[in-house]
Structure formats: C-alpha cells, structure tokens
Amino acid sequence: MTKSTRPIGLLSKEDAAAYLSISERHLRRLVAGGQIKPKRLGTMVRFHITELDRFIADLPEERGLDRLVNHRFVSRGVSDQLERD
C-alpha cells in the first residue's frame, strides 16, 4: 500500500496496521480489546476501511504530546506554577 493512494475495501493485517501507522502487535491488541472489529473470511482476517476510519474518528481529541506534557507537569507539581503565570 502506498501513501499516495487511499485503499478501498478490505485490508490485510499488514496494510491495516500501515494505514493506522501502528505496529501489527498494536493492531492485535486493539482487536483483542474490541476497539477494532475485523472481518473473517475463512481463516483470513481482514479489516474494512470504514471500520478503521471509524476507529480514527472515535479517538479522543487530547492525545499524544499534550497528554504527555500535562501528565509530566502534574506529576512534578508544575501545573500549579503554570496556572499562576
């Protein structure tokens, strides 16, 4: 799967993980946790692109760096100092 083309239909585990920019291991954890629902075709596991898009749309807004920075400030007691400034 190239980054310049948007996939259509069902994706393999490898392509679904690449589409979400995560590892296959992380994808397996999301499936095990019920956050992403795969389609099973016999023994094959595939992921519908609309299911992956739904997962992305349902992600909370506060993610990544903001969350990490806020956690570090709170754990160090710096948040009170920031509120005073």
* 8 Å CB contact between 73 and 82: yes
Does the pTM of the predicted model rise above 0.95? no
**How far apart, in whole angstroms, are the C-alpha atoms of residue 27 and residue 19?**
11
Helix 13-20 and helix 49-57, axial crossing angle in degrees, nearest 10: 30
Percent of the chain at pLDDT > 70 equals 64
Q: What is the mean pLDDT of the chain?
A: 77
Q: Tell whether the model's pLDDT for residue 79 goes beyond 90.
A: no
**How far apart, in whole angstroms, are the C-alpha atoms of residue 7 and residue 10?**
8
Q: Tell me what the mean pLDDT of segment 27-34 comes to.
A: 96
Q: What's the pLDDT tens digit per position in 1-20?
A: 555 566 678 999 999 999 99
Q: Tell me what the mean pLDDT of segment 29-56 comes to.
A: 94
Helix (H, G, I), strand (E, B) or coil at 10: strand
